[in-house]
Structure 1
Amino acid sequence: MHSLEDKVVIISGAVGGLGEAFARAILDAGGSVMLTDVSQEGLDRLAAELGDRVHTRTLDVREEEDWVRAVDAAVARFGKVTGLINNAGVTTSRCLLEEETAEQFMGIIGVNLLGVHLGMRVVIPHLRANGGGSIVNISSGAGMMGIAKTGGYAAAKWGVRGITKVAAVELGKDAIRVNSVHPGIIETNMTSRLGVSSEPGGLPSAPAGRAGVPSEVAGLAAFLLSDAASYISGAEMTADGAWTAGPVPA
């Protein structure tokens, strides 16, 4: 694993499958983490489990002042911030486009896209002050292709892909790298309703034949946060067992 010693990374949506996996991967690589989430109970549990290179703060990613307080708390605890994983998200409304109300649509956009914008907006000056850094925005396979019944979700995830590229272009001069990660179907509580698994044959629609596990996405994110990825910016990187590459041959 690539070293993340001397790195301090803020993670939104840290409670749950992917968020917790990101935290563990960063800690395993020697970094420190600021864990944020709407669940204080979940944050307390993680802090007790993960040790003294962890700090926590509740955060509603739709509120800019919450972001300011979270970033300031990370700087107060660790002295700096060098990275951000915009991971907080809500799932699709699971209805056809013509059935999805404006309230449902905007509820998803608020968390999955506005939250990413605000996180970057608040953290960028801190990364610039350190001479650079890395932002990893968690999009989705739904940000790579069209999937039925994902209207607002897909709009947000395609938006994350786009805003990532804009940020990468604008921030290259500041040595701030910005990339999007597009997980496929990963075995977490959020996907439990889909009836998939990471066992062989657990996802026949993916060429890999199974769903992924959170650590398989976390390893990619940790790499992008590391100095080993120093010339990678503006990229969209999938971790999906070739699910978005094309249909499984008959």
Structure 2
Amino acid sequence: MGRFDDQTVLVTGGTGGQGSSHVRAFHAEGANVLIADIDAERGVELADELGGRARFTHLDVTDESSWSAAVLAAERAFGALNVLVNNAGVQNPPAPIEQTDRATWSRILDINLTGTFLGIKAAVPALRRATGGAIVNIASTMSLGGTAHYAPYVASKWAVRGLTRTAALELGRDRIRVNTIHPGVIATPFIHEPAAGATAAIADFFSPEPFAIPRLGVPADVTGLLLFLTSSEASFITGSEYVIDGGLLLGPALRTEAA
């Protein structure tokens, strides 16, 4: 028996480094999984790999009608929607605020923040029809402080925190729990490849050596926490924020040589 037998999970950005990890893990735990992404080729390939309890649906998270279609696809394919994972996100090319153009600002907030808002809005009626469920919004450790040259991304993820808390207050009486995960530097193409219009990747600015746990995270680190938060084991947890960063935000772990 899997933890998610007879449940349906919709994962946005489901073909990416973290998203595909989440999709595979939910599927392995018995869930029906809807892989929602703009990358149809990779989405169909992943759904075919997993088999009958997986479907791909094209989703532009900035488009309200696209969201409505994705939720409808989940209910038509599997009968209900029980879990929404708002995982889709993009980063801006690094630049100081004074050199950040309005189009970049709008694009990052549209995908990271408005996309999350539209996802919650579209999923809630379906989650109510399923008599409850869980939403997890994937934010970032950048939403817990400032990061130079990443103003649009930082602002979008800070706002996701407030959106999550508001949704948790509004939806708790409907037995819909809403929580946030804040990954640190996780080894995926998102970290290791430059954003569109950039020449450097986020990983170029980080070394894990000072972390309390001196390594980069891997998608499975985030996935394990996600499975817990969306399971019945977390039935009394809502409006909470979980940081998974190997101690990045704690400050440097100083080393001393043995005498």
TM-score, normalised via structure 2 length: 0.91
1:110-164 CA-partner distances (Å, limit 9, x unpaired)? 0000000000000001111211100000000111111111100000000111100
Residue in structure 1 matched with residue 74 of structure 2 by the alignment: 74
Aligned twin of 2:177: 177
Counting only pairs closer than 5 Å after superposition, residues 49-64 of structure 1 correspond to structure 2 as: 49-64=49-64
Task: Note the 1:220-239 alignment, pairs <5 A.
Answer: 220-239=225-244
Within 5 A, what are the aligned runs for 1:21-100?
21-100=21-100
- The Cα shift of 1:97 comes to 1.5
* Partner residue, 1:215: 220
Q: Distance in 2 between matches of 1:166 and 1:247?
A: 33
What are the within-5 Å matches in structure 2 for residues 54-203 of structure 1?
Answer: 54-192=54-192, 193-195=201-203, 203=208
| Unaligned stretches of 5+ residues in structure 1 | none
CA distance in 1 between partners of 2:49 and 2:2 (Å): 23
Shift of 1:7: 1.5
- Tell me the TM-score normalised to structure 1 length: 0.94
Deviation at 1:194? 4.1
Partner Cα distance (2:96, 2:214) in 1: 27
State the shift of 1:51 in Å. 1.3
Structure 2 regions of 5+ residues with no counterpart? 193-200
Partner deviation per Cα, 1:154-179 (whole Å, 9 max, x = no partner)? 00000111100000011111110000
In 2, distance between residues paired with 1:205 and 1:153? 24
Map Cα deviations across residues 37-60 of structure 1 (whole Å, 9 max, x no partner): 001111111012111110111110
The aligned length equals 246
Q: What is the CA deviation profile of residues 180-214 of structure 1, one whole-angstrom value per residue up to 9, with x for unaligned ones?
A: 00000000011113447xxxx96124221111000
Task: Give RMSD over aligned pairs.
Answer: 1.6
Paired AA for residue 241 in structure 2 = E
Distance 1:99 1:202 in 2: 26
Q: Within the alignment, does 1:206 sit opposite 2:211 as a pair?
A: yes
3-state secondary structure, aligned to 1:18:
helix
Larger radius of gyration: 2
Do structure 1's residue 242 and structure 2's residue 250 form an aligned pair?
no
CA 1:2 to 1:79, structure 2 compared with 1: closer, same or farther past 3 Å? closer
- Distance (whole Å) between structure 1 residues aligned to residue 203 and residue 87 of structure 2: 23
Find the residue that maps to 2:177 and give its secondary structure.
strand
* d(CA) in 2 for partners of 1:131, 1:80: 10
Instruction: State how far apart, in whole Å, the 2-side matches of 1:226 and 1:214 are.
Output: 18
SS in 2 for 1:244: helix
Return the offset for 1:233: 0.4
**Displacement of 1:20 after TM fit?**
0.3
